[in-house]
Amino acid sequence: MKVHEFMTKKIEFIDSNKSVYDAVEQMVDRRIRSVVVRFAGKETDYGVLTSRDIVFRVLAKGINPKKIKVAEIASKPIACIDKEMDFEDAATTMERSNIARLFVCDEGKIVGLISLLDVMAAELVLRARGNHVS
Amino acid sequence: MFLDKILSHGKKERYVIEDIKRHIELLCTACDTFITSLEKQDRNLMWEVVELEREADSVRREVISHIYEGAFLPYLRPDLCKFVEIVDEVFDLLKETAFYCVENDIPEPLRDESIRVALLNFRMCDMLLISFDAMLKGEDLREKTLAVRIFEKKIDDIKLNLVKEVAQVPIENFWAGKALSDFLTNLTMISDIIEDASDHLQIINVSTR
């Protein structure tokens, strides 16, 4: 089963010069756990900011989220996989890199996202399908 | 075992089982043809979907008449007929979506997501066929119905994106807008009906144990 069949295409972006507070607002409002960070002038240059980054690196340390830019705490580079990759290989990549989400890219541009939950759902579908080939 | 319990009575049951299977296989073929014609933007191929729906209609009639000629124990007959009719509803929705595509191009911002929904619909039909085979072997359908629900949930997520996107699409007039809205409603409703069919199969499976 290929990742493009099951990936999420609803991806939220934020500009790197925005404040962490803006990111928090966006994430809480849209009920998402991460946003993709866009850097000015570079179309295929991305970073990622997760709720974990925000809580551990900013809020827990008592730093004012309005006074820190997204670019300062975003992780770079992002982990990208090809849309034709199988879910089994995607799971291996996640395990090796110890990450909870992988971005699906096409010629450097993000076209989707798969999370641990998507991998688990794909596993259930594969089990149900058994040896059947469609 | 499903087979032991119902097939020992005669050939009529076997015909019905074969026809129901053919009905679902036709649905898989129709969904697959629909995807190919969407991807290739081939309107002639889209007519194939309509033809397959007509063929499926005659298979449905055969199944129902065989059942009421005396195939299966009476308590099973309404459930089997209901299952075939639910699958037939999927054909009707697919035909409606095909009609839209024969007459119109899908707006570019909606094309990719529409193809993804069509692909997931096909996967669900495929899973329905797997479930039916599993039921005939007397297997538990729990994993299969769960897989169908996962696909359905995924389509629901895509539907939200489509609804958001369609609001940005320029519409020429009321009727063009209504046709596009109906197309999206039908395309995304197919999964709901397949889920109903899968649930009904589970009911039949449980009732024969």
Residue of chain A minimizing CA distance to B148: A125
Residue A42 token pair: 């570079």
For chain B, what are the domain ranges?
Answer: 2-207
Task: Judge whether A21 is closer than 8 Å to chain B, CB to CB.
Answer: no
- Domain borders along chain A are 3-129
Residue by residue, what is the 3-state secondary structure of B162-178?
HHHHHCCCCCCCHHHHH
CB contact under 8 A, A9 and B161: yes
Count other C-beta atoms under 10 Å from residue B194's C-beta.
28
Do the Cβ atoms of B66 and B98 come closer than 8 Å? no
Taking an 8 Å cut-off on Cβ atoms, the answer to whether B119 and A129 are in contact is: no
Q: Which residue of B120, B150, B157 is in closest CB contact with A8?
A: B157
Residue B207: pLDDT band (50, 70, 90) is confident
> Under an 8 A CB cutoff, do B127 and A128 touch?
yes
Confidence of residue B46 (pLDDT cuts 50, 70, 90): very high
Residue among A10, A121, A132 minimizing CB distance to B130: A132
Q: Which residues pair with A86 in a beta bridge?
A: A2
Dihedral pair phi/psi, residue A58, rounded to 5°: -120, -65
- Judging contacts by C-beta atoms under 8 Å, the chain A residues touching residue B21 are none
Give the right CATH number for B2-207 from 1.20.58.220, 3.20.20.70, 3.40.630.30, 3.40.50.2000. 1.20.58.220
pLDDT tens digits for A101-124? 999 998 888 999 999 999 999 999
The residue of chain A with its CA nearest to that of B127 is A129
Residue A133 has a pLDDT of 59
State the ipTM, two decimals: 0.78
Q: How confident is the model at residue B2 (pLDDT cuts 50, 70, 90)?
A: low
Strand partners, B48: none
Question: CB B158 to CB A9 under 8 A?
Answer: yes
User: In this predicted model, what pLDDT tens digit does every residue of B74-88 receive, in sequence order?
Assistant: 888 999 999 999 999
Q: What's the pLDDT at A76? A: 87
pLDDT, residue B16, reads: 92
Distance from CA of B158 to the nearest CA of A (A): 8
Please give the Cα distance from A115 to A94 (Å, whole number): 9
- Inter-chain touch B126–A9, beta carbons under 8 Å: no
* Cβ <8 Å between B126 and A132: yes
Q: What pLDDT, on a 0 to 100 scale, did the predictor assign at position A104? A: 94
| Angle value at C-alpha B28, between B4 and B14, nearest 5 degrees | 25
Residues of chain A with C-beta less than 8 angstroms from the C-beta of B157: 8, 10
A60 interface with B at CB cutoff 8 Å: no
At residue B9 the predicted structure's pLDDT band, cuts being 50, 70 and 90, is: low
Phi, psi of B135 (to 5 degrees): -65, -40
Average pLDDT, chain B: 92
Q: Is the N-terminal amide bond of A77 cis, ω within 30° of 0? A: yes
For B150, the closest of A10, A125, A130 (CB atoms) is A125
Query: Taking CB atoms and an 8 Å cutoff, what residues of chain A touch B127?
Result: 125, 128-129
pLDDT, mean of residues B124-148: 94
**Residue B10 reports pLDDT greater than 90:** no
> Number of A:B CB contacts under 8 A?
43
| CATH architecture of the region A3-129 | Roll (3.10)
Q: CB distance B157–A6 less than 8 Å?
A: no
Output the pLDDT for position A54.
Answer: 96
Binned at pLDDT 50, 70 and 90, residue B70 comes out as: confident
Where chain A has pLDDT below 50, the residues are: none
Residue A39 is classified by DSSP as P
- Contact criterion met (CB below 8 Å) for B53 and B91: yes
